[in-house]
Amino acid sequence: METFLLYNRWLHIAAGFLGFFVAPVALYVRKGGPAHRLWGRVFFWAMVVAGCTAILSAWANGLTFLLLTGVFSLYLAWFGYRSLYLKKLSQGQRPAFIDWAGVGAGLLVFGGTLAYGLRTGVVPSLVFGAIGLLTTGRQLWSYVRTTPPAPGQWLLNHMSGFVGSYIAAVSAFSATSLHFIPGPWNFLWPTLVMVPPLVWVQSRYKARFRQSQRPTDMVEVRIQPEAA
């Protein structure tokens, strides 16, 4: 068991560092282009591996913080990934079973996370729980509302999911390794640094959507097969 956990730890570290360096590349290159899709996939699978190994390590060692960050980063990466397969929600497309299952699991997990934070006063639990519930609640609303979402909402969701997953991963690294930063700032600084630029970029996209510009006018769009 100790050998397995050691290998799991090194795999987690390797996947996390890969994600740290790949994410800025995916953000820098042309959105939707071949390089963006390539490095985006690498980042997604790096976050899947990092999240799963974090959950295993947290389960074996009773580390609540690592468990929360692993689940949070994994869910947001999945949220950003699945948004690429839901580009036609504004045209009557219906979510697949995996989308309903994912949002249901997210509501349960993040509701429990927020409740745990309120009971114990643990700041990461409060932050992860609140943001997670907000994300899953908006996602569920986009599935059940009678009026379709805006045509470009999938693009905003894609950005929020992948950037949010990156923020969670950096937050976990900072909180566990950058001991010279006092808590809870060692956990909160990635959110404070990266969320404002994300909000600014999304507001620019929203303004262009209101001017009747389509996502294809701003990024290279490729429709993913719905069954994926």
One-character DSSP codes across 23-90: HHHHHHSPTTSHHHHHHHHHHHHHHHHHHHHHHHHHHHHT-HHHHHHHHHHHHHHHHHHHGGG-TTGG
Q: Name the one residue in this structure whose structure tokens are 């820098």.
A: 28
Q: How many domains does the chain have?
A: 1
Is the four-CA dihedral 101, 98, 165, 219 of positive or negative sign? negative
Reported confidence tier of residue 14, pLDDT bands at 50, 70, 90: very high
pTM for this model (two decimals): 0.86
Residue 87 lies in a domain: yes
For residue 49, give its domain range.
2-94+150-215
Residue 177 lies in a domain: yes
Residue 143 lies in a domain: no
Residue 17 lies in a domain: yes
Residue 186 lies in a domain: yes
Which ranges of 178-214 does DSSP label H, i.e. alpha helix?
A: 185-210
Q: What is the average per-residue pLDDT within 153-166?
A: 90
So what's the pLDDT on residue 47?
92
Reported confidence tier of residue 228, pLDDT bands at 50, 70, 90: very low
Range with the lowest mean pLDDT among 77-86, 147-156, 185-194? Answer: 147-156
Residue 126 lies in a domain: no
Reported confidence tier of residue 224, pLDDT bands at 50, 70, 90: low
Residue 89 lies in a domain: yes
Torsion angle (degrees, nearest 10) of CA 59, 83, 220, 18: 0
pLDDT in tens, 33-54: 889 989 999 999 999 999 899 8
Residue 190 lies in a domain: yes
So what's the pLDDT on residue 166?
92
